[in-house]
């Protein structure tokens, strides 16, 4: 059987590998850390870092195609792979998505086609940039240009003095100041584009974040109007086409209190907010990635059940305020799994930590109200507020 390769061995790589294996592929993972979620289910190439040429060349030689599960994989590594194997997504798409400045510039450049703009913003790389901040960008959020995720590398700022302090606290790495917008709710659109330029777009997902981390994804979104759904889906398809992208890509949008739509950021890979597709859609986002990279026809994105996805963080292993130690215990999965429509996905991580994504739970049901009711019951079992 043919081999598919994936850069990165986290839970996204694991679920990708599982989907690929279901379609008869073998999977090789390039991941430096020895104990990784994908390494438990796929072959891990030994001691190979993301920039290690020997590892990259071994992956390329072994595989019919290579993808990434990790948006911060060095773009140069994808370029090297692409000299000898089909790589999707390619270095260009990934390099735009991993740099907030390039990403914003790209969104602005295709706004006439996508019909959406990002939040007003300014690059902050020096004291002069801070002095030149215009009042209407404040209050805002200062975000590192690279490597931020789950709200890490972000500081909320009210004044130029706040920006200065935050910039210094981040060791003066290049940042982006974004105007704080009045959000009504947040949505994401998962798309996939094939090598032939055909693209598909999944139903729009409504996301709730807690402490900067995705808490739930609900599809169909209870707040989403048909008008904003269509607008976001159209924007997403224009964006992947403009990027010349091949593979699964997820775009986050804000819907503001006045109903307008703003594009936030994109992830060049399957996304946490797309996990609901595993249980609620004909083709999961991971199976879709397999199809796109293997240059097969894209799959049906139809959603067959209403769905609510809950991230399971390490916090629910602890019965008190401690971080580690005796109070850590396995949550009552037997009670969770007794709930109708429950689909439990655990990532094989054996060291629960607070704020660490250990798994997710998707409830599917004929109606959203039923799925939400089961979610509430699960939250009660896990001891978290719904």
DSSP 58-96: HHHHH-SEEEES-TTS-HHHHHHHHTTSEESS-HHHHHH
Residue 153 or residue 220: which is nearer to ligand ATP going by CB? 153
Question: Does 15 belong to an annotated binding site?
Answer: no
| Residue 202 annotated as lining a ligand binding site | no
Residue 234 annotated as lining a ligand binding site: no
CB 140 to ligand ATP: min, Å? 7
Give the nearest distance from C-beta 109 to ligand ATP in angstroms. 19
CA-CA distance, 35 to 15, in Å (whole number)? Answer: 16
Distances (CA, A) of 364 to 341, 357, 367: 5, 21, 8
> What is the token pair recorded at 112?
């006439």
Long-range contacts of 337-342 (CB under 8 A, 24+ apart): 339/363, 339/374, 339/377, 339/378, 340/365, 340/370, 340/374, 341/305, 341/365, 341/370, 341/371, 341/374, 342/374, 342/378
Residue in 5, 55, 148, 331 binding ligand ATP, rule: CB under 6 A: 148
For ligand ATP, which residue of 186, 236, 251, 331 counts as binding (CB under 6 A)? 186
Q: Does 61 engage in binding with ligand ATP (CB under 6 A)?
A: no
CB nearer to Mg ion: give 83 or 223: 223
The answer to the question of residue 215 lying near ligand ATP (CB under 6 A) is: no
- Which residue from 132, 161, 183, 369 is in contact with ligand ATP, where contact means CB under 6 A? 183
- Answer whether 281's CB lies under 8 Å from 202's CB: yes
Q: Say whether 104 counts as a known binding-site residue.
A: no
Unique residue bearing structure tokens 């690279």: 146
Which CB sits closer to ligand ATP, 48 or 141?
141
Q: Is 152 annotated as a binding residue?
A: yes
To which H or E segment does residue 308 belong?
strand 306-313
180 binds ligand ATP (CB under 6 A): yes
Shortest CB 179 distance to ligand ATP, Å: 6
Residue 148 among known ligand-binding residues: yes
Length of the chain: 386
Stretch of residues binding ligand ATP (CB under 6 A), selected from 6-14, 180-188, 223-231, 297-305:
180-188
Residues 119, 205, 281, 298: which binds ligand ATP (CB under 6 A)?
A: 119
- SS3 at position 351: coil
Residues that bind Mg ion (CB under 5 A): 252, 265
Q: How far apart are CA 237 and CA 201, in angstroms?
A: 7
Per the structure block, which two tokens stand in for 98? Answer: 């991993």
Q: How many residues bind ligand ATP (CB under 6 A)?
A: 18
Distances (CA, A) of 74 to 119, 193, 229: 27, 22, 33
Residue 37 touches ligand ATP, criterion: CB under 6 A: no
Which of 265, 281, 352, 359 lies at the binding interface for ligand ATP (CB under 6 A)?
265
Angle of helix 75-82 versus helix 53-62 axis, rounded to 10: 40
Per the annotation, does 341 bind a ligand?
no
Ligand-binding site membership of 212 (annotated)? no
Three-state SS string over 134-201 comes to: CHHHCCEEEEECCCCCCCCCEEEECCHHHHHHHHHHCCCCCEEEEECCCEEEEEEEEEEECCCCCEEE
Q: How far is the CB of 374 from ligand ATP (least distance, A)?
A: 25
Return the one option of ligand ATP, Mg ion, none that residue 119 interacts with (CB less than 5 to 8 A, by type).
ligand ATP
Q: Residue 154, annotated ligand binder?
A: yes
Nearest to 266 by CA among 94, 151, 386: 94
Span from 174-182, 224-232, 309-317, 324-332 in contact with ligand ATP (CB under 6 A) = 174-182
Q: Which of 110, 111, 181, 241 binds ligand ATP (CB under 6 A)?
A: 181
Question: Per the annotation, where are the binding residues for ATP?
Answer: 100, 143, 148-154, 178-181, 186, 209, 264-265
Q: Which residues sit at the interface with ligand ATP, rule CB under 6 A? A: 119, 141, 148-151, 154, 178-181, 183, 186, 209, 212, 252, 264-265
């Amino acid at each position: 059987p043919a081999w598919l390769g994936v850069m990165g061995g986290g839970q996204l790589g694991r679920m990708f590998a599982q989907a690929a294996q279901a379609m008869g592929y073998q999977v090789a993972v390039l991941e430096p850390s020895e104990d990784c979620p994908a390494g438990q289910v796929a072959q891990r190439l030994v001691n190979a870092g993301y920039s290690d040429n020997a590892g990259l060349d071994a992956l390329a030689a072994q595989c019919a195609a290579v993808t990434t599960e990790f948006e911060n994989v060095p773009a140069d590594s994808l370029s090297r792979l692409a000299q000898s194997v089909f790589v999707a997504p390619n270095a260009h798409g990934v390099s735009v998505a991993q740099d907030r400045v390039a990403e914003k510039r790209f969104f602005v450049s295709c706004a006439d086609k996508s019909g959406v703009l990002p939040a007003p913003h300014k690059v902050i790389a020096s004291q002069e940039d801070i002095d030149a901040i215009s009042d209407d960008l404040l209050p805002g959020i200062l975000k590192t240009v690279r490597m931020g995720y789950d709200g890490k590398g972000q500081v909320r700022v009210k004044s130029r003095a706040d920006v200065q302090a935050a910039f210094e606290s981040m060791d003066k790495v290049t940042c982006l100041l974004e105007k704080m917008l009045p959000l009504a709710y947040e949505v994401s659109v998962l798309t996939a584009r094939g090598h032939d330029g055909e693209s598909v777009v999944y139903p729009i997902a409504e996301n709730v974040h807690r402490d900067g981390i995705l808490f739930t994804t609900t599809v169909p979104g209870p707040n989403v109007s048909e008008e904003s759904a269509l607008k976001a889906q159209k924007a997403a398809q224009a964006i992947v086409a403009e990027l010349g992208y091949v593979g699964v890509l997820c775009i986050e949008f804000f819907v503001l209190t006045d109903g307008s739509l703003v594009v936030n950021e994109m992830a060049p890979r399957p996304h946490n907010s797309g996990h609901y597709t595993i249980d609620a859609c004909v083709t999961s986002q991971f199976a879709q990635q397999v199809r796109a990279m293997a240059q097969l026809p894209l799959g049906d994105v139809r959603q067959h059940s209403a769905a609510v996805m809950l991230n399971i963080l390490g916090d629910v292993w602890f019965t008190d305020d401690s971080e580690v130690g005796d109070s850590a215990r396995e949550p009552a999965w037997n009670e969770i799994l007794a709930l109708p429509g429950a689909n439990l996905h655990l990532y094989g991580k054996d060291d629960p930590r607070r704020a660490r994504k250990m798994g997710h739970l998707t409830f599917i049901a004929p109606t959203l109200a039923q799925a939400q009711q089961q979610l509430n019951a699960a939250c009660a079992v896990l001891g978290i507020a719904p």
